[in-house]
Structure 1
Amino acid sequence: MSVWLFYCLGPTDREGMWDGAMETPEEEGRTFMQVISEKYSPENFPYRRGPGMGVVVVPSGPQGSPMKDRLNLPSVLVLNGCGISRAGDEGEIAAFCAHVVELDLSHNKLQDWHEISKIVSNIPNLDFLNLSSNPLSDSVLEPSCAEAFVRVRRLVLNNTRVSWETVHTFTREIPELVELFLCLNEYDSVTPSAVPCPSLRLLHITDNNLQDWGEVRKFGAMFPGLDTLVMANNNLASIQDPGDTLRRLFPNLRTINLHNSVRARL
Structure 2
Amino acid sequence: MCFCHTLPPPQMELSLSQSNHVPESVRETNQGCESVSELMKKICLCCLRDVSSRSKSNDCISFSLDFLFTLVFHGCDILKSRTRTMDSSSDEEEGRTFIQVISEKYNPENFPYGHGVGVVILPSPPGSPSKERLFLPSILVLNDCGIRKAGEKSDIAALCAHVVELDLSHNQLNNWAEICTIVSNIPHLDFLNLSMNPLSGVELEPSMGEIFSRVRQLVLINTQVSWETVHTLTQHTPELEELFLCLNGYQNVSESQASCPSLRLLQISDNQLQDWADVRKFGLMYPCLNTLVLANNNIEAVGDTQENLQRLFPNLRSINLNNSGLRNWEDIERLNYFPKLEEIKAKGTPLLEPYTNQERHSLLLARLPSVSVLNGGQVTKDDREDAERFFIRYYQDSPEQELPARYHILVSRYGHLAPLADVDLSPRCTVVDVRWGDRVEAVSLHLEQTVGDLKKKLRALLKLPDNRIRLFHINREMCSVLGPEELKCGSRALHSYSIRDGDEILIVPKDKNRSNSSHI
Flag the 1:122–1:34 CA change in 2: closer, same or farther, 3 A: same
**Residue number in structure 2 paired with 1:35:** 101
| Residues 1:208 and 2:274 aligned together | no
Alpha-carbon RMSD across the aligned residues, in angstroms, is 1.9
| Residues 1:251 and 2:314 aligned together | yes
Q: Is the CA contact 1:47–1:72 (under 8 Å) kept in the aligned structure 2? A: no
Moved more, 202-211 or 232-241: 232-241
Of 189, 192, 208, the match for 1:145: 208
Question: Matched residue of 2:134: which SS?
Answer: coil
Deviation at 1:244, TM superposition (A): 4.6
| Distance across 2 between alignment mates of 1:86 and 1:157 | 18
Q: Which runs of 5+ in 1 are unaligned?
A: 1-25
Q: Which runs of 5+ in 2 are unaligned?
A: 1-90, 331-520
Deviation at 1:57, TM superposition (A): 6.9
* Aligned partner letter, 2:104: E
* Aligned partner letter, 2:92: E
Q: Is the CA contact 2:142–2:169 (under 8 Å) kept in the aligned structure 1? A: yes
Deviation at 1:245, TM superposition (A): 3.2
After the TM superposition, which segments of 4 or more aligned residues of structure 1 sit over 6 Å from their partners? none
Q: Is the CA contact 2:199–2:225 (under 8 Å) kept in the aligned structure 1? A: yes
| Distance across 2 between alignment mates of 1:65 and 1:122 | 20
Q: TM-score, normalised by structure 2?
A: 0.44
Question: Matched residue of 1:34: which SS?
Answer: helix
| Residues 1:229 and 2:297 aligned together | no
Deviation at 1:159, TM superposition (A): 0.3
**Residue number in structure 2 paired with 1:183:** 246
Flag the 1:119–1:254 CA change in 2: closer, same or farther, 3 A: same
Of 114, 118, 142, the match for 1:48: 114
Moved more, 140-149 or 216-225: 140-149
Q: Deviations over 1:158-183 (max 9, x none)?
A: 10011110000001111111000000
Deviation at 1:89, TM superposition (A): 1.1
**Residue number in structure 1 paired with 2:151:** 88
* Aligned partner letter, 1:27: E
Flag the 1:108–1:140 CA change in 2: closer, same or farther, 3 A: same
Identity within the alignment, %: 65
Question: Matched residue of 1:43: which SS?
Answer: helix
Q: Is the CA contact 2:120–2:137 (under 8 Å) kept in the aligned structure 1? A: no
**Residue number in structure 1 paired with 2:172:** 109
Q: Greater Rg, structure 1 or structure 2?
A: 2
**Residue number in structure 2 paired with 1:72:** 135
Q: Deviations over 1:10-68 (max 9, x none)?
A: xxxxxxxxxxxxxxxx8341000100110100111346366xx136475x577x56366
Q: Is the CA contact 1:87–1:118 (under 8 Å) kept in the aligned structure 2? A: yes
Moved more, 240-249 or 168-177: 240-249
Moved more, 137-146 or 173-182: 137-146
* Aligned partner letter, 1:153: R
| Distance across 1 between alignment mates of 2:204 and 2:235 | 12
Q: Is the CA contact 1:203–1:226 (under 8 Å) kept in the aligned structure 2? A: yes
| Distance across 1 between alignment mates of 2:303 and 2:119 | 55
Aligned positions, number: 237
| Distance across 2 between alignment mates of 1:160 and 1:55 | 31
Of 214, 230, 243, the match for 1:167: 230
Q: Is the CA contact 1:79–1:103 (under 8 Å) kept in the aligned structure 2? A: yes
* Aligned partner letter, 1:54: G
Q: Deviations over 1:116-151 (max 9, x none)?
A: 000001111110000001000121101222221111
